[in-house]
Homo-oligomer: A and B are copies of this chain.
Amino acid sequence: MKLLVVGSMALDTIETPFGKEDNILGGSASYFSLAASMFAEVGIVAVVGKDFPEGHLDLFRQKNIDLQGVTREEGETFKWEGKYGYDLGDPDTLGTYLNVFENFNPVIPESYSNVDYVFLANIDPELQLSVLNQVKDPKLVACDTMNFWIDNKVEELKKVLKHVDILLINDSETRALAGEPRITTAARAVLEMGPKILIVKRGEYGALMFSGDDIFWAPSFPLEEVIDPTGAGDTFAGGFMGYIAGNDITDPAGFKTAVVNGSVVASFTVENFSVRRLSGLTKEEIGKRFAEFLKLSKVD
């Protein structure tokens, strides 16, 4: 196994202008691992409750995703309820029920401890540190976080960042972490905190990759069929890290290609609720849209 993700598996109830779905498969580790599995061998460390359908676990198994690190605890699975407005921008959270996720204590299986690539999805920075203590000498560690941890556990988060190669967050998180409204200035301040690369995820507006003095801008694919934006950021991270792990990327051009692959895979996720589009995705579809992507921002 090349790539480990530690994050959430969830049951989401989501309303968008195009419909409402109850208790559908969600969570950062779900989207990440399915996206990454298009490019590399992936394993998940996460926790689910008694109500988590076995059928969902079968889906991961079909994609050769290793589930040794997924534990099933007494109680209900982590649940999130959200509603998107007309423009499919930031959703309103109608309910967050941590359930078994509240006491999540990630234990890395012994067979994973030599893993080369690690992605710490958006969880408590103290748990992210605990994971880092359990893996021996990974080639590359990436992580995500959110404004809640920036506001409430910034010291722990800064400890994590000292050990992280790549940070993937959004605009407002970048601004909050740096305490600086200008995104370029904020990005430089975040790079001072430890990561060698910062990727600012901007949803339908694409992604910016900051690396030293270099800036790379990847568009988001302009879609006809956006149904549910949930999971786009985690899918982006999965496509990005999967491509890196699957090809042992170390050069700047390779990282740019990885960003485009992240954007490509994320563009499929939003075409349907949950992981429905992602779970049937083929390498051919990814390759075709990758080529369209390059054309999109090309000045002849």
Task: Report the minimum CB–CB distance from A223 to chain B (whole Å).
Answer: 6
How far is B90's CA from A87's CA once the two chains are assembled, in angstroms? 16
> A253 and B219: CB pair below 8 A?
no
User: Which of chain B's residues have a CB closer than 8 A to the CB of A253?
Assistant: 299-300
Please count how many residues in chain A sit with their CB below 8 Å of the partner chain's CB atoms: 38
Is A57 an interface residue when CB atoms closer than 8 A count as contact? no
Task: Report the minimum CB–CB distance from A182 to chain B (whole Å).
Answer: 5
Interface window among A101-109, A144-152, A210-218: A210-218
How far is B299's CA from A272's CA once the two chains are assembled, in angstroms? 28
Task: Report the minimum CB–CB distance from A36 to chain B (whole Å).
Answer: 20
Is A181 an interface residue when CB atoms closer than 8 A count as contact? yes
User: Which of chain B's residues have a CB closer than 8 A to the CB of A216?
Assistant: 296-297
Interface window among A64-72, A91-99, A160-168, A198-206: A198-206
User: CB-CB contacts of A248-268 with B at 8 A, as 1s and 0s?
Assistant: 000011001100100000000
Q: Which of B86, B222, B294 contacts A181 (CB 8 A)?
A: B86
Task: Report the minimum CB–CB distance from A210 to chain B (whole Å).
Answer: 8
Is A133 an interface residue when CB atoms closer than 8 A count as contact? no
> B208 and A222: CB pair below 8 A?
yes
> A224 and B300: CB pair below 8 A?
no
> B217 and A299: CB pair below 8 A?
no
Is A129 an interface residue when CB atoms closer than 8 A count as contact? no
Is A287 an interface residue when CB atoms closer than 8 A count as contact? no
Is A286 an interface residue when CB atoms closer than 8 A count as contact? no
Is A135 an interface residue when CB atoms closer than 8 A count as contact? no
> A297 and B224: CB pair below 8 A?
no
**In the complex, what residue of chain B is closest to A184 when comparing beta carbons?**
B222
Is A134 an interface residue when CB atoms closer than 8 A count as contact? no
How far is B226's CA from A206's CA once the two chains are assembled, in angstroms? 20
**In the complex, what residue of chain B is closest to A203 when comparing beta carbons?**
B205
Is A115 an interface residue when CB atoms closer than 8 A count as contact? no
**CB within 8 Å of B: which of A157-185?**
171-172, 175, 181-185
User: CB-CB contacts of A9-37 with B at 8 A, as 1s and 0s?
Assistant: 00000000100000000000000000000
